[in-house]
Every structure is written in structure tokens, then in C-alpha cells.
Amino acid sequence: MTRTDDGFLRPKTTRKLDRDQRRAIAEVCPGQRQHGLSEAPFTHRLWGGYHDVMTGWSTDPELRFEAASGGALSATLLWLLETRQVDAVLSVGADTRDPLANVARVSRTRGDIIDQAASRYGPSMPLAHVAQRLDEPDRYAFVGKPCDVAGLRNWAKIDPRIDQVFPIKLSFFCAGVPSLQGARDVVQRMGMNPRDVARFRFRGRGWPGHASAVDRGGASAQLSYQESWGDVLSKHVQHRCRICADGIGLAADIVFADAWATDAAGRPTFAERDGQSLLMSRTSFGASLLSNAIAEGAIAARPTDISAIAPMQPGQKRRREELLGRLAGRVLAGLPVPRYRHLSLWRNARHAGGWRTVKAALGTARRCLRWRSSYQ
């Protein structure tokens, strides 16, 4: 994997692939195809298959404070380690040599989990660190973006070692991956030179917390979540993520998200408060993990009605409802589209209505034709 000039991670072919390798890539890569079939007892057109929907937080106050939302994801990881259900966790944290960038990290202690807590809104590639672990005796919990987990599930179908070494697969809602340039722009907006940054956080330390940077001289600066994500990072999200059918962790055992509070008009508010995570168990294994983590006191959580998610996550709702239109826009521009099956595309488009679908199609076609080279 190499970093491009515009700050994304892309695979680079270093030698010719044979037919079997090309077939394996086509079977595993979630960028090419994805299906939303689920063994879960309930299915929602927007939020997919699920067992439980809950709102909750880590009962460890330090973890809750350090984490992105309520720390429920980190609390689950710590509980899995402490109860020896896994030996280690493979997730993503800041690169100490390049603090705006991300690296895959292995956690084995509470200190590691706290260090890796909170979201890293930039390119990450935890899957690139899977193959080297497949012959190790350790068992891992895997944390990745929804596409990472979908890829891992696909991989498990052709390599049984995946489920032995990575029996637990966790994810979070994902609005898309911004380029590294996004993080640089956030730092510049703080009035700091990206080259001088010694430590950088996208959020956490409160909910939603701030993006914060410390330079080599010890000076610090910060930016609110609304400014960093809303004004800067969201503008750097790559096109592929905007036509993603799964920003909601459909393939995960449990998926975590922000359980944003909403105002009188039903819109999310980002006033600082104690963190709350949204939790959805998607497999029966995930459901039993979640109920045990709650019963053993690692997470405090209460059941939440599925209808509460839409006002918390308007961006995810919009993308799901406009997806068919966006894909039609790519077809109009003569570009290929991923193969999506059982992902409620038509049903969601009907809810969006004809006008929104046509608008999404024309907008996408126009952007694809204008920036064809980066929209392939």
C-alpha cells in the first residue's frame, strides 16, 4: 500500500498477478462487491440486520472520557482482554513518527486500549496487518471500518484461519475516509504548521471533544468537532466512500456509533456532554458478547428503539437513501459501479422519492465527468 500525493492509501501492484490471485482479490475486496444478507432476526431498510440496538457508555470513566463517543467500543475491547476471550486487539492509532497519519496497532493492556481510543479520521489499513498474524497462536479482536470488516468476512470464506485468529470483528459507523490533507488543513486552521506537530487527536477527551494538536515546542491548539469534521474533514472524504452502501458496519458482530442528542427540530446537536455510544449487535455471537459485557459491568446500556437512529445519523440516512441515484450518476458518466445485493437500494430510493434520486444522479454524473481521473 502506498500513500498518494493527495493523501490517500492505494494498493500498488509490484508484480504481475496470476489468475487465482486476481480471483481471490475479486472475492475479498469489498470495494468491488458487497451483499447485505444477514442472519439477524430483525432487518431495517436503513440500518440493516440487527439483534439489539442500545445506547450506552463505558463504566470506566477514564475510558469514556478519552474515547470518541461513550467509549463502549474500547470498553468491549478491554473486557475481551481482561476476560481472556482474546489475547490481543488489532486496531488503529496515531503514527508516532507522523502524528497526523494512522498505523495499525496491537493492544494487550488497558494502557494500550486507552492510547488507541477515539476516532482517526484519515486513511487506515488494518487489513494489511492480518496476513502476517495468521500463523500465530494469539487470538485477536479486530476493529476496522465497515469496509475492513466486510473484507475480513469475505477473506474468512476462502481462508479458515481468519475466523480462528480473528474470531471477533467490531466496527463503527463510518461517514467515509478523509485524505491526510484533511488533517493537515485542520492543523493549519488551528494556526499551526503541520510539519511542527508532535501529537494530534481528531477528537475524544469529552464528547465530541476537540481536534487538538501539540507542537514540538509544547504549544497546543484545538478546533471544535463541528469545525474540524463539518467544515474541513468531511470535504476531503474520497468519492468511493460517497457511493458506499455500508457506512453502518453490516458485517460486524457489534457496530458502534455516536448516539447524538437531537434538538427540537430533530437534528443532532454537538454540545459538549458525557459521551454516549450507539451499539448494534448484528450477529448472535455479537448479541451474546454484548449482553455479557453489560452483565459483567463493562458497559452501561439501555435498549433504544431503531427509529431513534435516523435523527442521530442524518448523514448516513441521506447516503443510504440517495445511493441508487449516485450509482445511476456513475453509470450516466460511463463509470463502473460496485455490485451491491440485498442492500435495500430500491426501497431506500423509493423513500427518497423520484426528485431526490434524479438530483443525486445528475449531481454525481456532473462531478464524475468533471473529475473523471480521480472518480474512476
Ligand X SMILES: Cc1cc2nc3c(=O)[nH]c(=O)nc-3n(C[C@H](O)[C@H](O)[C@H](O)COP(=O)(O)OP(=O)(O)OC[C@H]3O[C@@H](n4cnc5c(N)ncnc54)[C@H](O)[C@@H]3O)c2cc1C
Compute the C-alpha angle 270/111/254, nearest 5°. Answer: 55
71 binds ligand X (CB under 6 A): yes
Q: How far apart are the C-alpha atoms of 225 and 231, rounded to whole Å?
A: 9
41 binds ligand X (CB under 6 A): no
Which stretch in 36-44, 91-99, 217-225, 330-338 sits in contact with ligand X by CB under 6 A?
Answer: 91-99
Q: How far apart are the C-alpha atoms of 124 and 135, rounded to whole Å?
A: 23
Phi-psi map region of 218: left, alpha, beta (phi>0 left; psi -120 to 50 alpha) = left
Contact 186, 233 (CB under 8 A): yes
Residue of 94, 101, 117, 214 that binds ligand X (CB under 6 A): 117
Instruction: List strands edge to edge, sheet with 140-144.
Output: 98-107, 88-95, 140-144, 168-172, 254-258, 277-281, 52-58, 299-303
Residue of 40, 118, 162, 301 that binds ligand X (CB under 6 A): 118
Which residue, 229 or 340, is less far from ligand X as judged by CB? 229
Residue of 29, 92, 211, 343 that binds ligand X (CB under 6 A): 92
Which residue, 47 or 173, is less far from ligand X as judged by CB? 173
Least distance (Å) from ligand X to the CB of residue 233?
Answer: 8
User: Which residues 6+ apart lie within 8 Å of 102 measured at CB?
Assistant: 92, 93, 94, 95, 120, 122, 123, 124
Which residue, 154 or 313, is less far from ligand X as judged by CB? 313
Residue of 28, 73, 323, 328 that binds ligand X (CB under 6 A): 73
Which residue, 187 or 328, is less far from ligand X as judged by CB? 187
Least distance (Å) from ligand X to the CB of residue 227?
Answer: 16
C-alpha cell at 4: 498518494
C-alpha cell at 246: 455500508
SS3 154: helix
Least distance (Å) from ligand X to the CB of residue 21?
Answer: 25
Among positions 301-320, residues that touch ligand X (CB under 6 A) are 313, 315-316
Scan for cell 474500547, then name that residue. 74
Among positions 150-189, residues that touch ligand X (CB under 6 A) are 172-175, 177
SS3 272: coil
End-to-end CA distance of the chain, in Å? 18
Least distance (Å) from ligand X to the CB of residue 345?
Answer: 19
257 binds ligand X (CB under 6 A): yes
290 binds ligand X (CB under 6 A): no
90 binds ligand X (CB under 6 A): no
Residue of 30, 36, 49, 126 that binds ligand X (CB under 6 A): 126
Least distance (Å) from ligand X to the CB of residue 333?
Answer: 26
Q: How far apart are the C-alpha atoms of 262 and 152, rounded to whole Å?
A: 34
Site string for ligand X, 270-289 (x = CB under 6 A): -----x-x------------
DSSP secondary structure letter of residue 196: G
Which residues are at the interface with ligand X (CB under 6 A)?
67-74, 91-93, 102, 116-121, 124, 126, 143-145, 172-175, 177, 256-258, 275, 277, 313, 315-316
